[in-house]
Chain A
Amino acid sequence: MSIEQQDKAAPPDGVVLTPEQEKNRRARNIAIGITVALLAVLFYAVTLVKLGGAVANRQI
């Protein structure tokens, strides 16, 4: 099916989600956001621990 045919076959109002789909998609997005943020914090903290306290005392 060509893109033009797909456009004609598509519902006139475009993609419309059910209220449940919308609610759960939003919840999924929030969960992904929180997970990625926590992962960034974890990697930052692990990096600090692995570098150790004397990291600033290096030769430049």
Chain B
Amino acid sequence: MSDASYLDHANAARIAPRIAVAAPSDYFRLLKPRVMSLVVLTALAGILLAPVPPHPLIAFAALLSIAVGAGASGALNMWYDADIDAVMSRTAQRPIPAGRMEPESALAFGLVLSMLSVFTLGFATNWLAAALLAFTIFFYVAIYTMWLKRTTPQNIVIGGAAGALPPMVGYAAAMGDVSLASVVLFAIIFVWTPPHFWALALMKHDDYGRAGIPMMPNARGTDRTRREILVYSILLAPLGAAPWLMGFASPVYGVISIVAGAYLLWLAAQVYLKREGDAARRASLRLFLFSISYLFLLFLIIVGERALQLAGIV
């Protein structure tokens, strides 16, 4: 057995140096895997939009680099926000506030993965895509996390650009430039972000208030938040159908996006109308959950249609 065998556990714990107890799973949690899954899907849509998609292995390397780059942003976000994560119930169990990891470990992990992902994307595809990925990481960490998040209720509106960039990075990785179609996908995610996060903020505004984050419900009140959720949803519903209107998605996508967009709008209207008690909370929760399915659905159809086209099935 190890050197610790001649010490009882309590004694070993007392004199053990400050070496992290973090397991690989804690490092994986730093990457925000649920966010990463959405990034993978949206970046894949960008790659497949290319008139001539790259070799499958190059596409895989690009997708992996973009996913790891997004994960690196998450790790750097958790390093910087460890103080506010500790006072919010939703984030208190993250590795740093839970005491399983030193903040410096998360910082080093995030920086190494950032450099590795950007370099790998540049090597495997082209340096425009790598530059866009580097900008995405910079925007999320420096502009959103360090600057906007704690200073303005427009934090997630402007910061949403970072989450919206993966389709453009994916398209750039495939083609070496930026197309109008990839900008449309960017716009869909960008306009989707405010109703999605503000629905969450309406439910968790006590948490955000405790942490001193000026989310829209805390800084401008819940009435204005409900109004803005409705406005962004009115913009999002037709924008979601734009890929069909512009000809890079099928009529099937068009019908589904219109129906899903109309339902999202109805849920946003419920959030606007129901302002008190449990009904208000339920309306926010339903909008929050459906908004995730909505975005997954749209991008899943785009990816599925292009995959079938490339396979020669349709």
What residues of chain A have their CB less than 8 Å away from a CB belonging to chain B? 11, 13-22, 24-25, 27-28, 30-31, 39, 42-43, 45-46, 49-50
Q: Are B21 and A24 in contact (CB under 8 A)?
A: yes
- Note all chain B residues with C-beta closer than 8 A to A50: 58, 124
Most interface-central of A18, A31, A45, A49 (chain B CB within 10 A): A18
Q: Are B58 and A31 in contact (CB under 8 A)?
A: no
Q: Which 8 A-B pairs have the closest CB atoms?
A: A31-B24, A11-B15, A24-B23, A46-B124, A18-B13, A18-B12, A18-B16, A49-B57
**Chain B interface main SS type:** helix
Within B93-121, which residues are at the interface with A (CB < 8 Å)?
Answer: 116, 120
Within the complex, the shortest CB–CB distance from B44 to chain A, in Å, comes to: 17
Distance, CA A13 to CA B55, complexed state (A)? 56
Q: Are A46 and B61 in contact (CB under 8 A)?
A: yes
- Note all chain A residues with C-beta closer than 8 A to B57: 45-46, 49
Q: Are B7 and A49 in contact (CB under 8 A)?
A: no
**Range of interface residues on B (Cβ < 8 Å):** 20 to 34
Within the complex, the shortest CB–CB distance from B110 to chain A, in Å, comes to: 15
Distance, CA A27 to CA B25, complexed state (A)? 10
- Note all chain B residues with C-beta closer than 8 A to A11: 15
Q: Are A21 and B7 in contact (CB under 8 A)?
A: no
Within the complex, the shortest CB–CB distance from B198 to chain A, in Å, comes to: 37
B147 within 8 A of A: no
Q: From the candidates B16, B58, B120, name the one contacting A49 in the complex (CB within 8 A).
A: B58
Q: Using a Cβ cutoff of 8 Å, how many contacts connect chains A and B? A: 69
Q: Are B4 and A18 in contact (CB under 8 A)?
A: yes
Q: Are A28 and B58 in contact (CB under 8 A)?
A: no
- Note all chain B residues with C-beta closer than 8 A to A30: 24
Q: Are B123 and A21 in contact (CB under 8 A)?
A: no
Q: Are A16 and B16 in contact (CB under 8 A)?
A: yes
Given A13-B3, A16-B7, A18-B9, CB of A28 within 8 Å of CB of B22:
yes
Distance, CA A46 to CA B24, complexed state (A)? 27
Distance, CA A22 to CA B7, complexed state (A)? 14
Given A27-B24, A49-B58, CB of A19 within 8 Å of CB of B9:
yes
Within the complex, the shortest CB–CB distance from A22 to chain B, in Å, comes to: 6
Q: From the candidates A21, A24, A28, name the one contacting B16 in the complex (CB within 8 A).
A: A21
- Note all chain B residues with C-beta closer than 8 A to A39: 116, 120
Distance, CA A14 to CA B195, complexed state (A)? 56
Within the complex, the shortest CB–CB distance from B60 to chain A, in Å, comes to: 8
Q: Are A22 and B23 in contact (CB under 8 A)?
A: no
Distance, CA A20 to CA B9, complexed state (A)? 10
Distance, CA A43 to CA B64, complexed state (A)? 12
Q: From the candidates B12, B24, B64, name the one contacting A16 in the complex (CB within 8 A).
A: B12
